[in-house]
A and B are shown apart, each in its own frame.
Chain A
């Protein structure tokens, strides 16, 4: 695990993130730092504000207040919501990934698996069909999809395959940060286990940083180094994942842990 000692400082720094929907609180006054190579889990029940927070961080929603800074590839920290549209969209399709809970939201369902993986490469200027196809096939292999499926579109894929394809599509440009919204939600338990295994391997191999939103403490346990526990739009507990899960301090966290980790 890469700790706060990593050179260059944090990859992402959020402070005072607050989002209101009218009078309703989405999330309130949230701050943390994410370091290179670190995986942060945001856990909580539905309605706790974790998805709102994720969308603010990924610049998909503009927060009502607060600042999110990100270390660009040139080493400078930039305020994400002050980036130009062009800079932000470039960031989103090169340096970031976003894995949706439902792969239909993150894939082009009528485009072949190869085209889905190759899109980001073409977006950044790759113009050699052979190379694109080779890279796509290679990535399909890394997410355990057989090479002969490269020309099939995701409509013929199972839920687990679709989710793995979405992951490959995101990772092909070598992003430094991946946002994941309930990446194993909606999958059968056995399929979930295989996907988690794969994700854990990829994150470690690539030295990725990730922010994972999940209501499933087992997912947080397997994937994350650190976690935030959210309730009612606020962070009520945070710390190293093992610590929080083994010795929860907040009553709500204790309840969550006791209700899930019996198994």
Chain B
């Protein structure tokens, strides 16, 4: 092999603490290295051209680039060596930026360590073999998990692009959090007026299959060919017959159940359609409160239903959907305000969340759009908004900013004035974060046109006194203590990962952070991709987002799916396991342990042997470390390659 080694300065990022010329010079002493040089920016166009030129001039058959992490530019350089006529797998990287120059300032030690890392890359490269991908067909259907605005956008864009879309929604209607909002900032558009038509489009789109009141149970397969088991939860109403007429809701005798759609500030019936614009507009029975289930007798809904849709004996049903890609758009849930005991959320009825306040503002909410405080139904005059409840608070293990609360609080202050002209709003805030288009202007309007009083400081406690809620806090700008007699206190509860998000992530085999938000593939350059091919993210499941960001991500995820499906065949990663049939004794230990069922038993001249199913193998290498005789080797990470790296490090 004729190896060329390129040591990147990365401007001063590497050169600042690594003597790249010395590393290049030292590389020449290693076996089969015929050319070594340092280069300013290996990834730039001149940098890549330099590599390509050297391959041609020096007849190189393998290349090592020492620069940044292979997680960043390995694909870049592989394409470059391929352009020069080499197999793209005859290439290795040494990470001397993230793992060397950026974590220590000792130039001598860094230079020395860089030489070691180049050396193990060379030893690995010497044992690389050219690999070529094989092709497999893809199923051009996509599943979108979550029917909030991000999921709706992703589903509609994919469907408009001609793909068959399966939309899975946990609740009985799509719409998500946005369907609960009254108005949206900074335009003060009516939320359901802009979301409603999109929901109808979903219902009417010929390419979209909607599984509402359903959850993803299990996921098998891989990019291009996933098998997803969807659990359709029992609704006890045959939706093929239900017309959504609502007769059952009128007659249902169990009327005092907390209405989840109304954030539990209003009652609902046991058989229920959550809101008038629901898609699908179908009734669901809650068996935990329905008298037929709880007491064993009632049957009123069954009697009044004009189509005979009520089925008390319905059971959960599993349907399997085969899809080629999955978009996760499972949104967020709210921080539990009762955890901040000093504010009294959960204890005092007049301390509510911002989302509950949305329901009080909404014309389709429990108060018909009249702001009435929960305790006595009176119209509040003084409304106090407290921001950052469960955001930017290390003591609650919620150090992150939820992003959209500053804006919706400003909106709610404006709407409060619209609804009750003689009211006064107070906003306790830490900082106002309004970096969107027209956002800061909007918060200014809340203060200047609508007279909301913004007080910079934290609230220490909230307690009831003579029918009022006393809010005591600090005004850090004035340096004084403040006490406000409030009729209603609205807490800007922070956004949290949706309940069950980590479980879904495990099914999808994607990563999630310590708060349960899904991890994107790269925080800047791959914001909607994940580390699992064929799985994309949209909306707040990746981190708190407002509506335009969520919609943007929904469309971005759809674009990724459409690009993926623009090909008829996908190339499989050839870094997979291969069986040396002579060495295999057919014990099947690899078959037992393979997480992907990618190895099968075959007969070869009357003997049992293992065989890797190329398109199913994901290249984890568990089989290689399981096989005692080393008969199954993961290409590009063979025993010999890792042993060569170990030996190189140990003998020096």
**Co-assembled chains A and B:** no
Interface positions of A (Cβ within 8 A of B): none
Interface positions of B (Cβ within 8 A of A): none
